[in-house]
Chain A
Amino acid sequence: MVAVHGVSFTVEEGEIFGLLGPNGAGKTTTLEMLEGLRRPDAGRAVVAGVDVVADPQGVKARIGVQLQQAGFFERLTVEETLRLFASFHRRAADVNALIARFNLGDKRKALIQNLSGGQQQRLSLALALLNDPQVVFLDEPTTGLDPQARRNLWEAIGRVRAEGKTVILTTHYMEEAEALCDRVAIMDRGRILAIDTPRALIRRYAPGAAISLRLDGDRAVLEGLPGVRRVEDRNGEVVLQTDAAQETLAAVMELTRGEGAELYHLSVREGTLEDVFLNLTGRSLRE
Chain B
Amino acid sequence: MRPVLVMAAYSFRMFLRDRSALWWGILFPILLMGLIGDVFGKADRLSFDVSVVDRSGGTYVPATAIKEELRAVPVFQVREEPGDEALAALKDGKRSLVVVLPEAAATRPYTVQVFYDESRAQVSQAALAIVQRVVDQGNLRLAGAAPAVAVDARGTSTRRLGMFDFLLPGIMAMTLMQSGLMGVTWVVSTYREKLILKRVLTTPVPPAVFYAGLVARFTAVNLFQVAVIFLVATFAFHARTVGSLAALALLSIVGSVCFLGIGFAVSAVSRSAEAANNLGSLLNFPMMFLSGTFWPREMIPEALQPVVAALPLTPLVEAMRGVGARGEPLTDFLPGIAYLIAWGTAGFLVAARYFRWE
Are the CB atoms of B196 and A71 closer together than 8 Å?
yes
Measured CB to CB, the nearest residue on chain B to A87 is: B6
Task: Name the one of B2, B7, B14, B201 contacting A37, with C-beta atoms under 8 angstroms.
Answer: B201
**Chain B 1-26 per-residue mask, 1 if CB under 8 angstroms from chain A, else 0:** 01100110010011001100000000
Give, as a whole number of angstroms, the nearest-CB distance from A78 to chain B. 13
The A interface, classified by DSSP as helix, strand, loop or mixed, is loop
**CA separation between A44 and B236, bound complex, in Å?**
66
Measured CB to CB, the nearest residue on chain B to A37 is: B201
Give, as a whole number of angstroms, the nearest-CB distance from B133 to chain A. 61
**CA separation between A84 and B17, bound complex, in Å?**
17
Are the CB atoms of A83 and B357 closer together than 8 Å?
no
Give, as a whole number of angstroms, the nearest-CB distance from A59 to chain B. 9
Q: Which of B10, B14, B194, B202 has the most CB of A within 10 A?
A: B202
Measured CB to CB, the nearest residue on chain B to A124 is: B199
Give, as a whole number of angstroms, the nearest-CB distance from A49 to chain B. 16
Which residues on A sit within 8 Å (CB–CB) of B338? none
Task: Name the one of A35, A70, A80 contacting B196, with C-beta atoms under 8 angstroms.
Answer: A70
The verdict on B200 contacting chain A, using a C-beta distance below 8 Å, is yes
Residues of A162-221 contacting chain B, CB below 8 A: none
Size of the A side of the interface (Cβ < 8 Å), in residues, is: 27
A76-B199 contact in complex given A57-B206, A71-B194, A87-B7, C-beta closer than 8 Å:
no
The verdict on B157 contacting chain A, using a C-beta distance below 8 Å, is no
**CA separation between A61 and B203, bound complex, in Å?**
7
The verdict on A5 contacting chain B, using a C-beta distance below 8 Å, is no
Are the CB atoms of B3 and A67 closer together than 8 Å?
no
Are the CB atoms of B199 and A70 closer together than 8 Å?
yes
Give, as a whole number of angstroms, the nearest-CB distance from B193 to chain A. 8
Give, as a whole number of angstroms, the nearest-CB distance from B195 to chain A. 4
Measured CB to CB, the nearest residue on chain A to B21 is: A75
Are the CB atoms of B195 and A84 closer together than 8 Å?
no
Which residues on B sit within 8 Å (CB–CB) of A80? 10, 13
Task: Name the one of A72, A75, A85, A111 contacting B203, with C-beta atoms under 8 angstroms.
Answer: A85
The verdict on A246 contacting chain B, using a C-beta distance below 8 Å, is no
Give, as a whole number of angstroms, the nearest-CB distance from B168 to chain A. 30
A residues with CB within 8 A of B: 35, 37, 57-58, 60-61, 65, 67, 69-76, 80, 83-85, 87-90, 111, 127, 131
Can you list 11 residue pairs at the A/B interface with Cβ under 8 Å? A37-B201, A58-B204, A70-B198, A71-B199, A74-B14, A75-B18, A76-B13, A84-B10, A88-B205, A89-B205, A90-B204
